[in-house]
Chain A
C-alpha cells in the first residue's frame, strides 16, 4: 500500500533538543540544535518553531558553523520570544519547515543591510556568496550593547574583499546614525550589483527606496503576523500576496508596488494597523 510509504509531513513539528545557548547581547540569544534539513536551508527561509505549551512562531534559520546543525537567534520581546530566549541546554522545541522562498544569490559587489535579528538571513546569505564577491555589510543597532554578529560576519568573510560597518543610533559604537545614512554614504563611492535587506520594515522601506532610486537590484525579507506558515490561514497577507508562501523575500519593484509595504501590517484578527 502506497500510503504506508508516505513520509512524515514536513508540516508536523519535529522535536529537537537545544545543545548550546550563546548570549549575543543582554536581550538576544542564539540557540543551537542538530537537524540536517535546517542546516541546509536557503538564505531567507524560515521555520515554524513550537515552544510547547506557549506558542509557535516563525523564525529565520540561523547558521551553525558545525555540520548538520542550525540555530535560531531570538530577541526577547513578547511572551513566545521570551520563553524561547529562556530555553536552556537540554530543553526541547518543535520545528517544521523550511518554508518560504529565498534571496536570489547575485555576484559582484553586494551590499547587505540588516537591523537586529534581521541579520540572521543575511548571515546565512553570506555563506552562499562567492569568495570573489566584494561584500559590504551594514548592521544597525540602537546602541553599542545591542550590536552582535560583527565578529561572526568578519570571520565568515575572512580572505575576501569585504567590509563590516556598524551603525548605532546613539553613536556609542561604529558610525553614528541609521543604516540608511551609512548606505547613502557608501553609494557615493561604490557601484553595487545587488542590495539585500532584512530588519524593521521602516528601515527596509528606506533601503529599498534608496536602492531603487539608484537603479540597483534590491531584495527584502519581510515579516508579518503569521499563524500556519504554509499558505492556508491567510494571516500574513501582504497586499495580494502571502508572506509565508509567496515570500518572505520580494524584489524592490514588487515591494514598492505593494501599498502595505512600509506602512501597514495585520493584527491577529486581520485588522490593518499602521507601523
Chain B
C-alpha cells in the first residue's frame, strides 16, 4: 500500500501536503484548477485587499543567482471581484489570502466570501514591501489581536496567519495570534532585501526594497517552523525556499504539517507539486511511514 500523504493543518484537511504559496500565479480560478490537477494540495490566492490594487511599476522582480527578490506591491483585483470569480468554484481547495490595515478591512472582505466555497483564510501579516499592511501590522501585537478576534467572529472557515521577520520578535506575533484564536500559522514570508545594479548605480526594484525568496531563505524558514512548533501548540505550514522533496521533508521534520511552494514554481513550473509529492511518498515508503503525520516534528526529539 502506498503511503498516505494527506495531512491535517488543524481543522483543514489536504489530500496532498504541497500548497501554492500566496502571491504566486494566483489570480484566476482557471489557473487554480490547473495547479490542483497538477498536484497542489491547496491553492492560496494572491493577497486580496478591499479594493483593486495595481501594485508597483516594474521592475517588480529581480532574479538572483539562487532566488528572487520581489516587490510586486500586492497587486490584486480586490476581494469583491475575486469573491465573484470564485463563486463558480466547486471542487478546488482554495485558501483566500487577505491583506488589510484594520479589523474592519478584514471583516468586510470575509463578508464578500460568505457564499463562496473556500477552505479557509490566510491573513497576510508579513508582506515586507507595502506600507500600513503586512509586516507593519504583524509588528503590532494589539492590532494583530484585534484583527484575529474580529476575523474569527466573522469567518465560518478556519483562519491562518502568515508571519514573517519584521522589526519585532516574530514569536510574539505568533503568541498573540495563538491567544487570539488562530487555527494555524504559515511561516515565513520573504525577507526584506534589495539589489543594486552596479552599472547604473540604481536600486533595480522600482520600490527599491523588496522581499527575498527561494533557496537562500530556506534555513531561516526551517528555523522559524522549528521554533514555532516547539514553543506553541499550533499547526504550522512551512514556507520559504522549498524547491525539492527533501526541502519539503526538512520542514515536515521541523514541525510543519504542510508546505507552501512559491519561487520554485517559477524555476520548475507547474510540475513542481507532483514532483515533490512523489518524492515525499518515496521517502515515506523508504522510512516505513504510513501516514505523513508520523514524521511531523520528529526532529524536535533530538
Measured CB to CB, the residues of A under 8 A from B are 3, 6-13, 15, 48, 50, 52-57, 92, 94, 96, 227-235, 237, 239-242, 245, 266-271
Contact = CB atoms under 8 A, between A and B. Distances in A.
Contact of B70 (A48, A92, A228, A268): A228
Contacts of A6: 65-66
A232 B58 contact: no
B61 A234 contact: no
B58 to A, nearest CB: 4
Nearest to B34: A240
A3 B214 CA distance: 14
A9 B65 contact: yes
A271 B77 contact: yes
B53 A269 contact: yes
A13 B58 CA distance: 12
A66 B262 CA distance: 40
Contacts of A3: 65-66
Interface in B11-51: 23-28, 30-31, 33-34, 46
B68 interface: yes
A244 to B, nearest CB: 10
B263 A232 contact: yes
Given A13-B62, A231-B265, A233-B70, 12 more contacts: A10-B63, A11-B62, A11-B63, A11-B64, A13-B197, A56-B59, A92-B199, A227-B72, A232-B61, A237-B28, A237-B31, A239-B30
B27 A15 contact: no
Given A57-B58, A269-B55, A270-B75, A237 B30 contact: yes
A55 B58 contact: yes
Contacts of B88: none
Nearest to B64: A9
A13 B204 contact: yes
From B68, B199, B269, residue with most partner A Cβ within 10 Å: B199
Q: Is the interface of A mostly helix, strand, loop or mixed?
A: loop
A94 B59 CA distance: 10
B65 A269 contact: no
B27 A12 contact: no
A12 B23 CA distance: 20
Given A52-B200, A237-B30, A269 B75 contact: yes
A224 to B, nearest CB: 12
A199 B70 CA distance: 30
Contact of A12 (B46, B62, B263): B62
A12 B68 CA distance: 9
Nearest to A49: B58
B24 A232 contact: yes
Contacts of A94: 197, 200, 204
A271 B78 CA distance: 9
A87 to B, nearest CB: 13
B53 to A, nearest CB: 6
Contacts of B219: none
Nearest to B67: A9
A270 B77 contact: yes
A265 to B, nearest CB: 12
B26 to A, nearest CB: 6
Contacts of B23: 233
B203 to A, nearest CB: 10
A272 B185 CA distance: 32
Contacts of A55: 57-58, 206
Contact of B58 (A7, A56, A267): A56
Contacts of B55: 227, 268-269
A9 B26 CA distance: 25
A231 B202 contact: no
A45 to B, nearest CB: 16
Contacts of B70: 228, 232-233
A228 B26 contact: no
13 contacts: A9-B63, A9-B66, A11-B64, A12-B64, A50-B59, A55-B58, A56-B58, A231-B266, A232-B262, A240-B33, A267-B52, A269-B76, A271-B78
